[in-house]
């Protein structure tokens, strides 16, 4: 019977999960699932290892009003007969995505009482996300206390940043209490970097900018497989615009909102996380597909601004790297947004990046126009596989 690793990725309104069988040196995907729309019109989609849909259930709002309740739906399903048959093995361990690992966790960690306390203590640095990540850890501790659990941190891949890249120009005592440029999306960046090592080893040793463009968006400068800088920093609000987050803004705007609009911390937090970005600027939607289909000038402006800001930050990270050998697109928009990819690369032509329209339309891996020079690549991310790899490594599962 195969040993199985479960990888759980609990976000603010969705839970993604995958089960992998340990097969020799590799990990074989047995099942993947997505429970999305938590608190609203929740939907549970289960696929087999080949990606075929096995189940597509619409849940009542009462069934999944919160991440904690949705976690129970997923946990019950995973321990039920249907899942057991599909997975075809014994669950040996569970790996979790944890958004914040603070300054100390530079790699994944086995969860014991001490590690759990340290993760919990970091909640004030990621108040919206860390509790959602903790929910499945606590639930599985109750459900199956004997199962080893591993925490994989979105910040860990960035812990090697230089002291220069790690700081804001603010008094040092704030740095010492944790106000640093942590960076996020690290599990995705690590996966894409490892994949580059397999498919383009020479490039993986060079200067690479990875664009993780999904619901959250950030860029990462990678040199010889290691993150050297990233656009997200103290929180997942910084950097380039996203679906509902503004990316970097003048902090004077926050003072303006407090003084002129009498907004308190909770109101500003809601504003910055949910009412800005593509949604705020367009006044229409956070979804790129909706904006691309719209004839409204504000939709066009939002997409134009998105491209402008990403191209500007690509230039900044190219300066940090001293040039660029490849730009790699990943995540929902990066993998599917053919038009946006073309526009971002067109705005980055000055770096020697040029796109082949046919390769771009066909969603190939190498989208570059020329056979030599800096590459433009598209590499689908797989955060759950990266979580499962860390889980296997830390526990030496064979
Ligand atoms: P998450 O960060 O939740 O994992 P994803 O990486 O799945 O999110 O990205 C979701 C986003 O991808 C959506 O908001 C949508 O804007 C974008 N997207 C999905 N499909 C397409 C498409 N065909 N063209 C452009 N954008 C797309």
Closest CA to ligand 1's atom 14: 287
pLDDT band per the 50, 70, 90 thresholds, residue 62: confident
For 353, phi and psi rounded to 5 degrees?
-90, 125
The H or E element that residue 20 is part of is strand 14-23
* pLDDT of res. 13: 81
- Do both 230 and 345 map to the same domain? yes
Look at the alpha carbons of 327, 330, 336, 337 in this order and tell me if their dihedral is positive or negative: negative
Distance 48 CA to ligand 1 centre (A): 21
- Do both 144 and 206 map to the same domain? no
Q: What is the mean pLDDT of residues 364-383?
A: 95
**Residue 290 domain-assigned?**
yes
pLDDT band per the 50, 70, 90 thresholds, residue 267: very high
* pLDDT of res. 37: 86
Query: Which residues, listed in sequence order, are joined to residue 20 by a DSSP beta bridge?
Result: 5, 29
- Do both 143 and 247 map to the same domain? no
Closest CA to ligand 1's atom 25: 337
* pLDDT of res. 247: 98
Q: How many domains does the chain have?
A: 2
- Do both 256 and 362 map to the same domain? yes
**Residue 102 domain-assigned?**
yes
Query: Which residues, listed in sequence order, are joined to residue 96 by a DSSP beta bridge?
Result: 8, 151
Ligand 1 binding pocket (C-beta < 6 A) is 214-216, 243, 287-289, 331-333, 336-337
- Do both 359 and 213 map to the same domain? yes
246 Cβ neighbours under 8 A, 6+ residues apart: 237, 272, 276, 277, 280
Domain that holds residue 267: 202-378
Distance 292 CA to ligand 1 centre (A): 13
- Ligand 1 mutation target, pool 217, 288, 334, 338, most atoms within 8 A of CB: 288
- Do both 146 and 240 map to the same domain? no
* pLDDT of res. 44: 94
CATH number of the structural domain spanning residue 32 = 3.30.420.40
* pLDDT of res. 290: 97
Query: Quick check: is 154 catalytic?
Result: yes
Q: What is the mean pLDDT of residues 63-83?
A: 89
**Residue 390 domain-assigned?**
no
Q: What is the pLDDT of residues 280-314, one digit of tens each?
A: 999 999 999 999 999 999 999 999 999 999 999 99
* Whole-number Å distance between alpha carbons of 314 and 294: 27
Q: What is the pLDDT of residues 161-216, one digit of tens each?
A: 999 999 999 999 999 999 999 999 999 999 999 999 999 999 999 999 999 999 89
* Nearest ligand 1 atom to alpha carbon 14: 3
* Whole-number Å distance between alpha carbons of 124 and 61: 29
Q: What is the mean pLDDT of residues 51-78?
A: 89
User: To the nearest 5 percent, what fractions of the chain are helix, strand and coil?
Assistant: 40, 25, 35
Does residue 382 surpass a pLDDT of 90?
yes
Any idea what DSSP says for residue 292? H
Does residue 2 surpass a pLDDT of 90?
no
**Residue 386 domain-assigned?**
no
Q: What is the pLDDT of residues 114-166, one digit of tens each?
A: 999 999 999 988 888 899 999 999 999 999 999 999 999 999 999 999 999 99
Distance 333 CA to ligand 1 centre (A): 5
* pLDDT of res. 398: 83
Distance 221 CA to ligand 1 centre (A): 22
**Residue 161 domain-assigned?**
no
Average pLDDT, the chain: 95
Does residue 1 surpass a pLDDT of 80?
no
- Ligand 1 mutation target, pool 37, 215, 363, most atoms within 8 A of CB: 215
Q: What is the pLDDT of residues 212-245, one digit of tens each?
A: 999 899 999 999 999 999 999 999 999 999 999 9
pLDDT band per the 50, 70, 90 thresholds, residue 67: confident
**Residue 49 domain-assigned?**
yes
* Nearest ligand 1 atom to alpha carbon 11: 3
Last residue of a domain, one of 134, 153, 172: 153
The H or E element that residue 381 is part of is none
Which of the residues 154, 229, 325, 382 is marked catalytic?
154
- Ligand 1 mutation target, pool 11, 332, 378, 383, most atoms within 8 A of CB: 332
Distance 216 CA to ligand 1 centre (A): 9
Any idea what DSSP says for residue 322? T
Q: Name the burial class of residue 223, with classes exposed (0-12), middle (13-18) and buried (19+) by CB atoms within 10 angstroms of its CB.
A: middle
- Do both 140 and 226 map to the same domain? no
* pLDDT of res. 61: 78
Look at the alpha carbons of 263, 264, 265, 266 in this order and tell me if their dihedral is positive or negative: negative
* Whole-number Å distance between alpha carbons of 64 and 42: 7
């Amino acid at each position: 019977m195969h040993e199985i690793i479960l990888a759980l990725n609990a976000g603010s309104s969705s839970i993604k999960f995958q089960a992998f069988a340990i097969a020799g040196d590799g990990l074989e995907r047995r099942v993947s699932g997505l429970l999305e729309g938590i608190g609203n019109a929740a939907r549970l989609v289960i696929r087999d290892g080949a990606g075929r849909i096995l189940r597509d259930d619409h849940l009542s709002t009462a069934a999944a009003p919160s991440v904690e309740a949705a976690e129970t739906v997923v946990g019950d399903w995973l321990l039920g007969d249907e899942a057991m048959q599909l997975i075809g093995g014994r669950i040996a361990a569970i790996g979790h995505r944890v958004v914040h690992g603070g300054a100390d966790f530079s790699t994944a960690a086995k969860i014991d009482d001490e590690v759990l306390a340290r993760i919990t203590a970091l909640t004030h640095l990621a108040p919206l996300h860390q509790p959602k990540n903790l929910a499945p850890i606590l639930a599985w501790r109750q459900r199956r206390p004997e199962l080893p659990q591993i925490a994989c941190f979105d910040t860990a891949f960035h812990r090697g940043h230089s002291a220069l890249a790690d700081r804001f120009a603010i008094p040092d005592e704030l740095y010492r209490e944790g106000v640093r440029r942590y960076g996020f999306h690290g599990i995705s960046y690590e996966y894409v970097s490892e994949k580059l090592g397999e498919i383009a080893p020479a490039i993986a040793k060079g200067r690479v900018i990875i664009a993780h463009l999904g619901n959250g968006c950030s860029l990462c400068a990678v040199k010889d497989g290691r993150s050297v800088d990233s656009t997200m920093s103290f929180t997942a609000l910084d950097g380039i615009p996203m679906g509902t987050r503004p990316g970097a803004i003048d902090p004077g705007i926050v003072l303006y909102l407090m003084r002129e609009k009498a907004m308190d911390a909770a109101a500003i937090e809601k504003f910055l996380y949910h009412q800005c970005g593509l949604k705020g600027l367009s006044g229409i939607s956070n979804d790129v597909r909706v904006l691309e289909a719209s004839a409204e000038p504000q939709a066009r402006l939002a997409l134009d601004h998105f491209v402008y800001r990403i191209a500007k930050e690509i230039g900044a990270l190219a300066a940090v790297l001293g040039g660029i050998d490849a730009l790699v697109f990943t995540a929902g928009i990066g993998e599917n947004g053919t038009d946006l990819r073309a526009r971002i690369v067109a705005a980055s032509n000055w770096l020697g990046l040029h796109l082949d329209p046919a390769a771009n339309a066909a969603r190939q891996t190498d989208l570059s126009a020329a056979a030599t020079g800096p590459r433009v690549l598209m590499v689908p991310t797989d955060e759950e596989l990266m979580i499962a790899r860390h889980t296997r490594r830390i526990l030496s599962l064979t």
